[in-house]
Amino acid sequence: MASLGIVKEVKRPKPLSTNSAIAYATKDLDVDVVSAYPITPQTTVVEKIADFIANGELDAEMIHVESEHSALSAAIGAAATGARTFTATASQGLALMHEILHIASGMRTPIVMSVAMRALSAPISIWNDHSDVMNARDSSWIIYFVSSAQEAYDTIIQAFKLAEDSEILLPVMVSYDGYVMSHTIEPVITEERDDVLKFAPKRPFSYRLDPDKPVTMGPIADPNWFYEIKYQQVIAMEKALVKAREIDEEFKKTFGRGYGIYECFMCDDAEALIVAKTSYATTLKTILPRMWEKGYKVGLLRLRLYRPFPVEDFKNILDKVNAILVIDRAISYGAPLQGPLAMEFSSLISREDLNLNLTSVVAGIGQRRMIDSDFENLVKLAWESRTKKFDKTIFYGVRT
Amino acid sequence: MSSELPGASELVIGGIITKPGNSLEYKTGDWRVLKPVIDQEKCVRCRLCWIYCPDAAIIEVEEEYTNKKGRKYKISYKVNYDYCKGCGICAEECPVNAIEMVPEYEKKR
Amino acid sequence: MRIEIRWHGRGGQGAVTASEIVAAAAILEGKNALAFPEFGAERRGAPVRAYTRITDESEMARTPIVSPNIVVILDPSLITPSYVEGLKENGCVVANAPEDPKDLAEKLKLKEGLGLRVATVDATSIALKWLRVPIVNTAILGSLIKATGIVKLDTVTNLVKERFPGRIGEANASAVKDAYESTKVEDLE
């Protein structure tokens, strides 16, 4: 369009929290059904959607339920009829959904869910870490970690397009830090509904609950059939890796913003990398330039698409450095490495026969305060790990 | 056996059954050890067996029957042995003991 | 440019809302900004802390602010040196206090020769006058704008009216303007 001399009007950002940005995305996607139960720090997502419905800005059915178990169950029912379906949760709510998570993916219902990540009880914590989503990582949901309110808005749109693709038909989780992002006001550009729906049109699914053409969904599958049906999910996940990248590229062409399925920041000439996600990644992007000036050539590998895991891309990135430090904000108790993400990178290193040091760091559990100097310490540790091997997981900032 | 069955790529996703009512093709009558036999003479046509049968294997047929006392019924109850699993609920519920559970293979002897 | 504001108040005074309004105003004026509370103390009367970060850079750290350029104190009971900890040189303190800036500087043990600016306003009286409740956040916004010019008065009064529609919004906007006019500012040479 630029060649014709037509310049699109510059869009002015709105001051929105990530929770509000997500609500705006569901409005602009014209979702049909929202089924959710309130839980801190997710609540304002659904409150804002309820506002949109009450104002007449969104014509959707809001299903009030008595628990998250029911919220996702109702969402499955809605999605099975072909409705564009959204839900949102956090922490205990996601844990209570756990059984239904597997049913949603097993029934191939393209639900999109936002997760304002929060620690799991006990003791009770309303604060942020990643225990809830890491606990759900094997549920065959596509999982994104986003790092800003803008990225959350954009990714919800991408997520519906991905979930509803006939080759994929898997539910998608878009996760972000509770409070640190969910309740933080920042600039967000929202798009026109027509443009959003043109990018992510509602498509009738091949199989849906329709009285004129009845089907049975979620039947029993005996040992002769079950394995193949689960293997279909393996294949769909593999396809999602390709599709997610394509959708992001198309999104960038359409709206001018793209993220890739991961982000490598200051990776050129870096000798070590820190693997981080969500708000920690954003903060590290402000820390790294000044650490380079001091001689610490450490880059950032920001995880964005977590399931499916971009194995090949990560292999090529890891091949160029001497060390990686993986920050986990969840604990895998009693595991060989207690950082669950570190374990996945460790298996990638071993599978691909890569030669580099891996350091597993657990930090920010229950939103333990991490200030700029803490991130500088982690950059220094990553630098040190090029020549020094840390065999055990480091529990950064804990009082032993 | 499983090698003759279709692979993942040939199956409808999520185990979705696209042909409604296909359970008719799956005959469960051979699960039986005891089979219910309805004594039309004793049967009072109360319909309880039809209501209680968990497999809808009791069928109501328009078949007239006149018992020895001269009472005339317009309908009769029969068992669909293709699907009756022999659970015995009908015999248990029958208020006039008109249904007897008979060993499946006894009669062949 | 990177300006960091740390807000200290008590639950119910509106420190979090004030931090958000300043960020929203900066965003509407074309800057990059974010605002977030130190979460957990959402109880009326409990000490609350919030942050606003304004920059023209594309990336913003999401860490708590430990070395602010500006400290805003919404409650007179929080005027102790511990609340201005980490204040940067050439920084500014804005406080809800009836006293003169010089006296406030003394209470806070602020040193001279660091280019510090101190502003005071009797926000409680202003809030009671316009709103009849001691919710001082909108009044203190007027004071902050007077002392720092960090965002425009008009942007903030418009946002306040948008956030609190109707008569309450008008009253709050008046509180902002009243405080803007009655704020005393002093530079510690």
Q: Which of C60, C61, C70 is nearest to C8 (CA)?
A: C70
Cα dist. A180→A346, B21, C14, C50, C129 in Å?
29, 52, 19, 12, 35
Residues 83-112 of A with CB under 8 A from C: none
Considering only the beta carbons, identify the residue of A169, A214, A221 that sits closest to B15: A221
pLDDT of residue A206: 83
Q: At what angle do helices A340-351 and A311-318 cross, to 10 degrees?
A: 80
**B12 interaction partners in chain A (CB closer than 8 Å):** 207
Residues A284, A289, A291, A293, Cα dihedral to 10°: 180
Contact C27 A282 (CB under 8 A): no
As a whole number of angstroms, the distance between CA B103 and CA B96 comes to 21
Q: Which residues of B touch A (CB under 8 A)?
A: 1-2, 5-9, 11-18, 20
ipTM reported for the complex, 2 dp:
0.91
Q: CB count, 10 Å around CB of A9?
A: 5
Note whether C touches A: 3 CB pairs or more under 8 A: yes
CATH fold, domain A262-395, is: Rossmann fold (3.40.50)
Q: Mutate which of C31, C58, C59, C155 to test chain A, going by most A C-beta atoms within 10 A?
A: C59
Q: Which of C93, C91, C146 is nearest to C83 (CA)?
A: C93
CB proximity list for A157: less than 8 A, separation 6 or greater: A25, A28, A29, A191, A196, A199, A200, A251
**A107 interaction partners in chain B (CB closer than 8 Å):** 14
Coil, strand or helix at A98:
helix
Beta carbons of C71 and C6 less than 8 angstroms apart: yes
Q: Which of C172, B67, C32, B6 is nearest to A184 (CA)?
A: C32
Q: Where in chain A is the domain with CATH 3.40.50.920?
A: 262-395
CB proximity list for C36: less than 8 A, separation 6 or greater: A179, A180, A183, A184, A185, C19, C50, C51, C62
Buried b (16+ CB within 10 A) or exposed e, A300-311: bbbbbbbbbbbe
C-alpha A8: how far from chain center: 30
Q: How many helices (H) and strands (E) does chain B have?
A: 2, 6
Give Dmax (Cα) for chain C.
46
Contact A108 B11 (CB under 8 A): no
Tens digits of pLDDT across chain A (400 residues): 344 445 556 788 999 999 999 999 999 999 999 999 999 999 999 999 999 999 999 999 999 999 999 999 999 999 999 999 999 999 999 999 999 999 999 999 999 999 999 999 999 999 999 999 999 999 999 999 999 999 999 999 999 999 999 999 999 999 999 999 999 999 999 999 999 999 999 987 888 999 999 999 999 999 999 999 999 999 999 999 999 999 999 999 999 999 999 999 999 999 999 999 999 999 999 999 999 999 999 999 999 999 999 999 999 999 999 999 999 999 999 999 999 999 999 999 999 999 999 999 999 999 999 999 999 999 999 999 999 999 999 999 999 9
Contact C60 A186 (CB under 8 A): yes
Cα dist. C76→A100, A196, C49, C99 in Å?
52, 49, 15, 10
Cα dist. B92→A211, B39, C89 in Å?
37, 14, 92
As a whole number of angstroms, the distance between CA A271 and CA A322 comes to 6
Contact A207 B13 (CB under 8 A): yes
Q: Mutate which of A107, A169, A232 to test chain B, going by most B C-beta atoms within 10 A?
A: A232
Q: CB count, 10 Å around CB of A113?
A: 27
Q: Which of A98, A119, A100, A148 is nearest to A40 (CA)?
A: A119
**C43 interaction partners in chain A (CB closer than 8 Å):** none
Kind plus residue range of the DSSP H or E element containing A153: helix A149-163
**C27 interaction partners in chain A (CB closer than 8 Å):** 13-15, 185-187
pLDDT of residue C40: 63
- Least CA distance to C32: which residue of chain A? A187
Nearest C-alpha of chain B: how many angstroms from A220? 8
CB proximity list for C54: less than 8 A, separation 6 or greater: C1, C2, C3, C4, C5, C22, C23, C26, C31, C32, C33, C150
Identify the CATH number of the domain defined by range C2-187.
Answer: 3.40.920.10
Cα dist. A125→A92, A334, A398, B96, C136 in Å?
10, 22, 16, 64, 30
**A286 interaction partners in chain C (CB closer than 8 Å):** 57, 59-61
Structure tokens of A281?
């990644």
Superfamily of segment(s) A10-255: Thiamin diphosphate (ThDP)-binding fold, Pyr/PP domains (3.40.50.970)
Q: At what angle do helices A98-106 and A68-80 cross, to 10 degrees?
A: 10
As a whole number of angstroms, the distance between CA B107 and CA C112 comes to 113
C-alpha C16: how far from chain center: 10
- Domains of chain B are 27-108 (3.30.70.20)
Does pLDDT of B63 surpass 60?
yes
Nearest C-alpha of chain C: how many angstroms from A93? 19
Predicted TM-score (pTM) above 0.90: yes
- The answer to whether the Cα torsion of A185, A188, A193, A196 is positive or negative is negative
Nearest C-alpha of chain A: how many angstroms from B8? 5
Report how many Cβ contacts below 8 Å link chain A to chain C: 70
Whose tokens are 């309820």? That residue is A50
Q: Mutate which of C2, C4, C16, C27 to test chain A, going by most A C-beta atoms within 10 A?
A: C27
Q: Mutate which of B4, B5, B16 to test chain A, going by most A C-beta atoms within 10 A?
A: B16
Contact A228 B14 (CB under 8 A): no
Q: Which residues of C touch A (CB under 8 A)?
A: 20, 23-24, 27-28, 32-37, 39-40, 57, 59-64, 66
Neighbors of chain B with 3 or more C-beta pairs under 8 Å? A
pLDDT of residue B21: 84
Q: CB count, 10 Å around CB of C178?
A: 21
**pLDDT per position as a tens digit, C54-95:** 998 888 899 999 999 999 999 999 999 999 999 999 999 999
Nearest C-alpha of chain C: how many angstroms from A186? 5
Q: Where in chain A is the domain with CATH 3.40.50.970?
A: 10-255
Q: Which of A290, A345, A286, A373 is nearest to A396 (CA)?
A: A373
Q: Is A187 on the interface with C (CB under 8 A)?
A: yes
**pLDDT per position as a tens digit, B1-58:** 456 899 999 999 999 999 888 888 989 999 999 999 999 999 999 999 999 999 999 9
As a whole number of angstroms, the distance between CA A6 and CA A191 comes to 18
3-state secondary structure A212-234: CCCCECCCCCCCCCHHHHHHHHH
